[in-house]
Amino acid sequence: MLVYTFRRILAAVPVLLTVAVFVFLLLRLTPGDPAAIIAGDMATPEQLERIRTSLGLDKPIVVQFFSWFWLLMQGDLGTSLISNTPVSGMIAKHIEPTISLALLTIVLSVAIAVPLGVLAAWRHGTWIDYTVMTISVVGFSVPVFVIGYILIQFFAIDLKWFPVQGFRSITRGIGPFLERAVLPSLTLASIYVALIARMTRASVLEVLGEDYVRTARAKGLKEKTVLFRHALRNAAVPVLTIIGTGFALLITGVVVTESIFNIPGIGRLTVDAILARDYPVIQGMILLTSGIYVLVNLIIDLSYSFFDPRIRY
């Protein structure tokens, strides 16, 4: 297991290296002078020259890459062109809302979707099944921003149960955090509930046809035990894959939700950076995103063996 983990981490190195090279070239290969793009139309030649020097653009490209890469290895992602603060610091400041929101969303999604999926599989072909499947189609089809605004209108404006927008760090109390995080999480969860419920249903349905489920029934076990102890755990692996990928997508794809709910997470950071052409920040975000994907995939693969003892690394 340890050996496997180590090898998987080693295997991630070339992936991340490729990303690093790509990210580096992104800025250098865009048509035109990067300094000019960064400086904008109104820049004076002196300003341009200063930007070039600060970016090291006057040196050969290979030298540029290695000095950039050397700093990267030390955790230095460069400095924002707009705020003039270190990119790593900016990401660190914005990542907490995003991660906590993503976690809450996944927990909510799993808590809603898995029982729904199991129920639909158990009562396959009945109205319960059809209802769950209909809900799931709706969850897929309605865009996130529509669901977000509907939830705000209903729960925040009409019922006044929750604040309309904003974010409180979890370090300032679980109550205020939840109060502001529930609506965005539910919004984000809609699509994951649909996805996970469908996956759980399909997976459990398949497992329910297995011989060991018949054995479990032949033992006189209660249906609840048959479903959750015998069927669900065997159905876990595909569901787990969806959950893991979903989590990675959440962290990296929260742009819309964070904008609607005005949450200062990395989604907002990315949008702002793109709008302002803040290249170092964009580079940092791409690196972070790919790193998260690699990490989440590793965690998913390792967790398979927890659910299925036949999988050993």
Partner 1 sequence: MTKPSFDPTSAPVLEVKDLVIGLTGDDKSSPVLNGISISIRAGETVCLVGESGSGKSVTSLAAMGLLPRQALEPRSGEILFEGEDLLKADAGRMRALRTKSMAMIFQEPMTALNPVLTVGQQICEVLQEHTKLAASDQKKTVLEMMREVHLPDVERIFGSYPHQLSGGQRQRIMIAMALILKPKLLIADEPTTALDVTTQKQILKLIDEMQEKQGTAVLFITHDMGVVAEIADTVYVMNRGNVVENGPIDAILTEPLRDYTRKLLSSVPSLVPRAPRPHGSSEVVLSITELEKVYGKKGWFGKFEAGTKAATDVSFTLKKGRTLGIVGESGSGKSTVARCVMRLIDPTSGSIRIGGQEIADFSRRAIQPHRQHIQMVFQDPYRSLNPRITVGDSIIEGPMNYGVPKAEAMKRARELLSIVGLPDDAIKRYPHQFSGGQRQRIAIARAVAMNPKVLVADEAVSALDVSVQAQVLDLLADMQEKFGIAILFITHDLRVAAQICDDVIVMQKGRVVEYATGHAVLTNPTHTYTRQLIDAAPGRHWDFANFRPLETNAA
Judged by the rule CB under 8 A, the positions of this chain that interact with partner 1 are 3, 124-125, 210-212, 214-222, 225, 229-230, 233-234, 307-310
> 57 vs 213, which CB is nearer to partner 1?
213
> 33 vs 223, which CB is nearer to partner 1?
223
- DSSP secondary structure letter of residue 301: H
Q: Which residues contact 43 (CB under 8 A, 6 or more apart)?
A: 36, 51
SS3 (DSSP) at 125: coil
Smallest distance, partner 1 to C-beta of residue 200, A: 16
Distance of alpha carbon 241 from its chain centroid, rounded?
Answer: 13
> 28 vs 214, which CB is nearer to partner 1?
214
Q: Are 230 and 122 in contact (CB under 8 A)?
A: no
Q: Are 59 and 298 in contact (CB under 8 A)?
A: no
Smallest distance, partner 1 to C-beta of residue 214, A: 6
Dist. CA 72–CA 64, nearest whole Å: 12
Strand partners, 79: 86
> 199 vs 216, which CB is nearer to partner 1?
216
| Angle at CA of residue 146, ends 145 and 148, nearest 5° | 60
Smallest distance, partner 1 to C-beta of residue 225, A: 7
Smallest distance, partner 1 to C-beta of residue 164, A: 45
> 152 vs 216, which CB is nearer to partner 1?
216
Smallest distance, partner 1 to C-beta of residue 77, A: 33
Q: Which residues contact 3 (CB under 8 A, 6 or more apart)?
A: 313
> 272 vs 308, which CB is nearer to partner 1?
308
Smallest distance, partner 1 to C-beta of residue 271, A: 43
Distances (CA, A) of 38 to 5, 50, 70, 77, 156: 41, 12, 23, 17, 40
> 203 vs 234, which CB is nearer to partner 1?
234
Smallest distance, partner 1 to C-beta of residue 176, A: 41
> 109 vs 234, which CB is nearer to partner 1?
234
Which amino acid is present at 29? L
- DSSP secondary structure letter of residue 210: S
Dist. CA 207–CA 229, nearest whole Å: 12
Q: Are 87 and 288 in contact (CB under 8 A)?
A: no
Smallest distance, partner 1 to C-beta of residue 4, A: 11
Distances (CA, A) of 174 to 156, 178, 179: 19, 6, 8
